[in-house]
Amino acid sequence: MMYQETVPAHVVNAFQGESGMPEPAGHAWDHGWRIGPVVYSRASGVAAGWSAKLRGSLHVDGVRLARPVRSTDGRFIVAGWKASTWIDGELARRVDETVLVALRLTEALAGLNGHALPPEPEASDPFVLAEHRAWEEDAPEYREITGPLQFGHADLLACTLYHGNQAPAVTDLVPFAAPRPPAYTAALVMVDGLIAGAVDDGIIDRFRHLPDIDQLLLRAVAYRRHVNELHPRGSSNARAHIRRVEDLLMSEAADTN
């Protein structure tokens, strides 16, 4: 028996889930399926178990996290599926607020003091390759960034839900390919918002006080450019939006160098 040819019944049973008609959970939940209070999603990538374990214990001020559901024998992953507690909310064009979520999440992750590090990423993963290529770029607009490094969230805007006046909710943790400067999570949120047309260009000035933000924005938009080039779902339409944002950020960087 399968739920709409998606979630196997034995997976639902393993997580002690309710029976019922599955409903599409949406992009923020890895296009998983909601049955009752639980979302079942494909556990793609080596970091799925790490994310589940960390979401089970991490506390972020002013932010809700989707807590993992364990199987009857204590596992986070069953037959390639993960389960998380459902949180009401929708993806929203609230980019400035999500930058603040990024800063709070970054602070919470820094507080782990090197514990709970993500696993070694898969070298063939297009997102990993894209990040490495972005940080290897050496155009004149780029300059070296010094200071502390830490792990953070590589796709926070696509994982943050809003519901009325409730605190924002983060559905998953997607680690960087390697430790990066603290404000890089915020930079990725800003760039993703600009590429999507979900925020005005003034967001750059509103968060210009963040350390090295001009350089981190350049790395973030280069990352999205490389993702679009490497990923099978990349498109010329996305390339045009990325190019517009990259031209803007290159101009901003030239003015500050």
Tell me the mean pLDDT per 10 residues along the chain, length 257: 67 96 95 97 92 97 98 96 98 98 98 86 94 96 94 98 98 97 99 98 98 98 98 94 97 76
CA atoms within 13 A on the CB side of 103: 12
**And the tokens for 95?**
């980019």
Task: Say what the pLDDT of residue 44 is.
Answer: 84
Task: Say what the pLDDT of residue 257 is.
Answer: 60
Task: Say what the pLDDT of residue 45 is.
Answer: 82
C-beta of residue 44 within 8 angstroms of C-beta of residue 34: no
d(CA 228, CA 21): 35
169-170, strands of its sheet edge to edge: 64-65, 169-170, 160-161
**And the tokens for 133?**
């290529």
DSSP symbol at 161: E
**And the tokens for 9?**
């019944």
d(CA 143, CA 157): 26
Task: Say what the pLDDT of residue 69 is.
Answer: 98
Task: Say what the pLDDT of residue 2 is.
Answer: 42
Task: Say what the pLDDT of residue 42 is.
Answer: 94
d(CA 102, CA 96): 10
d(CA 157, CA 91): 8
Task: Say what the pLDDT of residue 251 is.
Answer: 92
Query: Residue 121: which of 187, 51, 70 has the closest Cα?
Result: 51
**And the tokens for 19?**
């029976």
